[in-house]
Homo-oligomer: A and B are copies of this chain.
Amino acid sequence: MNSQPIASDILLKRLKTFDFLKELDNETLSTLAKSAVWKVFAPDSVVFWEGDTETNLYYLQYGSLKVLKSSPDGREQVLKFIETDEIFNEVGVLAKRPNPATAIALEESGIWLIPRHALEEIISVHPRTAMQIIENMADKIIELVMLATDLSLKTVEARFAELLLEQAEGDVIERRRWTNQTELAARLGTVPDVLSRVIRGLTKAELIEMDKQHIRILDRAGLEERAMLQWK
């Protein structure tokens, strides 16, 4: 992980491209440019630890992360994957709470850190930005509600089927370096062996097909049935 200041004008240009800041005027942005910090995280490096009180808002410019909690016996539960263009750590920066989970880079990731004071200034002048943050948090609450109820009420097979249906573009899911069974299992709240068994089952039933590069849905209707989607 290394940290490097970037000339303010270049930064300003970049800030304008952020979804999250789209509505702000030039002046506000250039103030921001002066206080934001740019960091690059190596694959597998920790962006922040559970328990940290991290007072920056993060904006993921490129790369991807996982947010997780782990148990003493080594199992981990992935709570969320973070993709390009997302902001995170609202909890730490605005509510001043210790972060409830750990964030780890899945690949090399470039992240902007926006310090609390800068953010608070923006909010006090642009309530619309506050609303955007609130909407982001609402989405996270919805996702966590889904996660919790799925963990409680659905089988591993159903959760996996659901995940496939969500992720598929057309009927194919591209597998990336970190879309391996270990990570998928952590995401689903189980262990690799169990997932492997589930995959075997779905493959035998000719609902899916899987190789190193892709997962292909062969029978969407059948998969939907396994996902128990009737009641969502």
Decide if A94 touches B151 in the complex (CB within 8 Å): no
Mask of A63-78 contacts with B, CB within 8 angstroms, 1/0 = 0000001011001010
Q: Within 8 Å CB of A4, what residues of B?
A: none
Chain B residue numbers with a CB within 8 Å of A131 are: 94, 123, 130
A75 to B152, CA, bound (A): 10
Nearest opposing residue in chain B for A68, CB measure: B149
Tally of chain A residues near chain B (CB < 8 A): 41
Residue among A91, A101, A130, A148 with max Cβ neighbours from chain B (10 Å) = A148
In the complex, what residues of B have CB within 8 A of residue A149's CB? 69, 77, 79
Nearest-neighbour CB distance to chain B for A25, whole angstroms, equals 17
Return the CB mask of A131-144 against B: 1 if under 8 Å, else 0.
10111011111101
Q: Which residues from chain B contact A147 at a C-beta distance below 8 Å? A: 144, 148
For residue A3, CB closer than 8 A to chain B, the reply is: no
C-alpha gap A77/B147 in the complex (Å):
12
Q: In the complex, which of the residues B71, B75, B127 contacts A123, with contact meaning CB atoms closer than 8 Å?
A: B127
| Contact residues in B for A134 (Cβ distance below 8 Å) | 90, 94-95, 130, 133-134, 137
Find the B residue at minimum CB distance from A78: B152
**Are B72 and A142 touching (Cβ within 8 A)?**
no
Q: A95-B138, A97-B139 are in contact. List 4 more A-B contacts (CB 8 A).
A: A69-B149, A71-B231, A91-B142, A137-B138
Residues of A whose CB lies within 8 Å of any CB of B are: 69, 71-72, 75, 77, 79, 90-91, 94-95, 97, 100-101, 123-124, 127, 130-131, 133-135, 137-142, 144-149, 151-154, 189, 228, 230-231
10 A-B residue pairings within 8 Å (CB atoms): A69-B153, A79-B145, A79-B149, A95-B135, A101-B145, A123-B130, A124-B127, A127-B130, A137-B141, A151-B151
